[in-house]
Amino acid sequence: MAKQTDGRKNVNGEKYSATYLKTIHSQLSAIFNHAVRFYHLPYNPAQRAGTIGNEEHKEMLFWTKEEYIKFSDAIMDKPLSLYAFELLYWCGIRVGELLALTPADFDFEKKALTINKSYQRLKGRDVITSPKTLKSNRTIKMPQFLCDEIKEYISMLYEIKDNERLFPVTKSYLHHEMDRGAKAAGVKRIRIHDIRHTFATALLEADVDIRYIQEMLGHSSITITEIYTHVATAKQRDILATKHPRKNFKI
């Protein structure tokens, strides 16, 4: 006989999270809405019963430029880690987009980076897919110092082909490096995705048009971009500096 639950617990007796319950209710309601519209169901029972659960909004965190420099100095002993986080920080790209990058995605003459794919690790296999949304296909302008850094990094990789991954690691590796670097640098540990928050809010503080920021981040809706505005800080205005942020930078 199947193990019984009270409806809000799994088979192990553990309570489902409020966010999970909210997601299940939303999906069920969408199914009933479809039935009402196309199959003559008189009303949406999920809607009539009311919602369950709620979305848990995680606090958006960010680094100041000074905090990021301390962090990047702490991981400089591993070039792969350093250059990966340089791209995350100065271009605002997603982790999956970073891990799918190949040399062919860079046009150093135009100082441009093309985002047209994403990386996932599924069932022990490396899988390259289309980006998260149609808007995620985009071209990002890079500062000259970052072009120089990535060219230097590519030159370190022995006979790498144009279609080979520049960063042949997984997300778990980057999470480990985030832990290591934050601890060594003595800065707060933020989520890797929070680096995008840092990038977006800094652009907002620099009075960059929000629709351009939407294009840079690859957001499908301007509403998503606007969520970042409440964490903007004046301390980040210099993130768009085109000169290299370090003196005597050398690996």
The model's pLDDT over 39-55, given as tens digits with 9 standing for 90+, comes to 888 888 877 887 766 55
Instruction: Grade residue 12 by pLDDT with cuts at 50, 70 and 90.
Output: low
Instruction: Grade residue 14 by pLDDT with cuts at 50, 70 and 90.
Output: low
Given 117, 165, 197, 219, which residue is catalytic?
219
Instruction: Grade residue 98 by pLDDT with cuts at 50, 70 and 90.
Output: very high
Least confident of 100-114, 144-158, 236-250: 236-250
Residue 27's identity, in one-letter code, is Q
Higher pLDDT, 16 or 129: 129
Q: Is 121 a catalytic site residue?
A: no
User: Could you read off the pLDDT of 66-75 as tens digits, one per residue?
Assistant: 888 899 999 9
User: Could you read off the pLDDT of 182-208 as tens digits, one per residue?
Assistant: 999 999 998 887 887 666 665 555 554
Sheet of 138-141: strands edge to edge?
106-107, 112-115, 138-141
Q: Is 228 a catalytic site residue?
A: yes
Given 68, 89, 94, 138, which residue is catalytic?
94
Q: Does residue 234 surpass a pLDDT of 70?
A: no
Q: Is 25 a catalytic site residue?
A: no
Q: Is 246 a catalytic site residue?
A: no
Q: What is the pLDDT of residue 54?
A: 58
- The gap between the terminal CA atoms of the chain, to the nearest Å, is 63
Given 65, 70, 78, 132, which residue is catalytic?
132
Q: Does residue 96 surpass a pLDDT of 80?
A: yes
Report the pLDDT averaged over residues 80-89. Answer: 93
Q: Does residue 101 surpass a pLDDT of 80?
A: yes
Given 193, 211, 212, 246, which residue is catalytic?
193
Characterize 17-48 residue by residue with b for buried, 16 or more Cβ atoms within 10 angstroms of its Cβ, and e for exposed.
eeeebbeebeebbeebeeeeeeeeeeebebee
Instruction: Grade residue 217 by pLDDT with cuts at 50, 70 and 90.
Output: low
User: Could you read off the pLDDT of 136-192 as tens digits, one per residue?
Assistant: 788 888 889 889 999 999 999 989 999 999 999 999 999 999 999 999 999 999 888
Q: What is the pLDDT of residue 244?
A: 57
